Amino acid sequence: MIQVQRLYKSFDTPVLRGCSLRAERAQLLGIIGPPASGKSVLLRAIAGLVDADAGSIIVEDKEMVGASEATRRHVQARIGMLFQNVALFDFMTVGQNVAFPLRRMSQLNEKDIEERVAEELAAVGLSGFERRMPSGLSGGQKRRVGIARATITRPRVLLYDEPAAGLDPVTTSRTFALLRKQRRRLGASLLVVSSDIDRLLPVADQVLMLHKGRALFQGPESELRQVNSPIIQQFLKGSTDGPL
């Protein structure tokens, strides 16, 4: 379970301005909103990669804001994250990339690690890709490797930042179908940021819409489309009438 309450974060200017959300176990929460609404910063704060200025982030019953380094590491070991740019190590093979978190966080022997890597690659449709280099992969294949790496430790929380960015429509649809399968297989809480709302909303159990660092709505898609908010309706329709 993830619970964020009145979270604030500023860099040169305010980014998160009292943002709140709740994601239950085995729930897929889709996060949407205009550019610069704080979506990626929110994910990084939950992952413990960005220190919040104020507020609360509870992940698996542990408070992350102001937590000790030991507590932070304990929670991060239960989080898997796919970055927007995938961030594969280009000097490592696919198998080494996927195994990287497991080698850092577990005491498994090499045989068990290799078996786990093969299992995760099979789950994303990339069986036999262990010895490939990232430079020889397509964009969709790189993102599937990133998903396999995010799930290799069997995390309780998965954070995906634009998992289908730059992909063609067919690969995008397959990617979102894969995320839904991963949630069922792992029983993890998934928080997925995506600009492709047409494909994200149908697979999300709930939707969170951010606007200027605040949560305007959280609930099912059916309720989102009925909300009497000009900002939300303008965003859903892709209208350019008036500033978001």
The reported pLDDT for the residue numbered 45 is 95
Partners of 211 in beta bridges? 214
The reported pLDDT for the residue numbered 240 is 47
For residue 181, report the phi and psi dihedrals to the nearest 5 degrees. Answer: -65, -40
Tokens 């978190």, located at residue: 101
Give dist(CA 51, CA 60) in Å, integer. 18
- Whether domain 2-78+155-237 has CATH 3.40.50.300: the reply is yes
Residue 145: partners with Cβ closer than 8 Å, 6 or more residues away: 86, 88, 94, 97, 98, 121, 124, 126, 129, 134, 137
The residues of the chain scoring below 70 in pLDDT are 239-244
List, for residues 160-171, the tens digit of each pLDDT value: 999 988 888 888
Nearest residue to 159 via CA among 180, 204, 190 = 190
Parts of the chain belonging to CATH 3.40.50.300:
2-78+155-237
Give dist(CA 181, CA 15) in Å, integer. 32
HSE, CB side, 13 Å, CA atoms: give it for residue 122. Answer: 7
CB atoms within 10 A of CB 44: 17
Give dist(CA 197, CA 31) in Å, integer. 9
